[in-house]
Every structure is written in structure tokens, then in C-alpha cells.
Amino acid sequence: MTSIDTVFASLAARKAWDIRLPGFIDREDTVPRFTPLADTAYVALDKGYLRLESTGNFGQLAMRIVAAPGFPKVLEEEEEEFSLASYGHLFFADAHSDFRITRIRYALNGESTPGRGTVRCAEFEFEHTWPLFVDPGYHFGIRLEGAGAFDRWLADNQDPASPLGPARSLTWSP
């Protein structure tokens, strides 16, 4: 596994152009429907993708750079058609076509292992646009939110009596 510092360092020279969610095309109805698989999301970069995956007990976010989105294991024995949905329009301003990551705020708790590429959650700030908050602890899978979500999440996760301890916030900037 790659450390979080190595992942972040590799993002300094790259630009993001989309947010992609893997899923499948459900063709059982008259109109085909895209169904997302919520344990993984991708930030599309000018060179490769940043893979964001809910790991462990679905309470940690693993991050790594990959060449392309992978075929989900859950679909290996299925006849469903794999597809990717574009969510970039929900988080990126439309005046630009690609965006440098200008800051990453992330949280650690007792289960996080940044040396192995996992954190509790993260907020990506892109130039000229809104932030993207990624929370793998949501019961439906990875939750993607915008402005203010990281601060709200952090405020709600400061209980010293928690078995994982209070969340600790760190910041990376290129």
C-alpha cells in the first residue's frame, strides 16, 4: 500500500476533470437505469485516476492513484453491464475544464493508517470551484458532499469517549 503522503505528493502536479462513480446499467425496466455501487468513487485526473474506496468496516477511506477504474468484484459473477457515471458537474464550476487540487483536509481516528493510505474522511479543494467532501462511513456507501460538510462532520466527531477517539484534522497543500 502507498502512504497518504505519497498519494498527496503525486496529486500536486495533476489536474482533476471529473468525479466518476462506478455502477451498472439495469435494463429490466422499459428505460435503462444507472445504479451506482457506492463503495468506490474516482477523481478523474489528467493522468490516471484517484481511487477513493470505503474500506475496513466502511469507516475508512483508502486513496491510491490508478491508471483506470477497475471492474467491481461485486459484478464479476453478474450479467450486469459495468458503467461509470459522471458527477463532476455537481462539484466543479463550469467555467473551467480542469482543476488543480489546492488543499486536502482529512481526518484521522483510531482506525486510520495514513502510512498505508487510509484516513477517516477527506475534503478536496479545487481551484475555481467548490470543495468535495468524501465520507466512507455513510450507511449507503461513500457520501459525496460540498461546502461546509467537512466542518460539520468534524464537529460531530469530537467525542473523547468514542471507541476510536476524537477525530483529528490535518491539512495538505501542494
Q: Model-level pTM?
A: 0.92
Find residue 139's DSSP bridge partners. none
Task: Give, in degrees to the nearest 5, the angle at Cα 98 between 97 and 99.
Answer: 135
pLDDT average, residue stretch 2-26:
93
Average pLDDT over residues 116-137: 92
DSSP secondary structure letter of residue 50: E
Q: Reply yes or no on whether the pLDDT at 174 is more than 60.
A: yes
Contact (Cβ atoms closer than 8 angstroms) between residue 102 and residue 15: no
pLDDT band at 140 (very low <50, low <70, confident <90, very high): confident
- Is residue 151 over pLDDT 90? yes
What integer best gives the mean pLDDT of the chain? 90
Supply the pLDDT for residue 34: 94
| β-strand pairing of 15-26 with 40-45 | antiparallel
| Closest CA relative to residue 123, chosen from 134, 114, 110 | 134
Quick check: helix, strand or coil at residue 31? coil
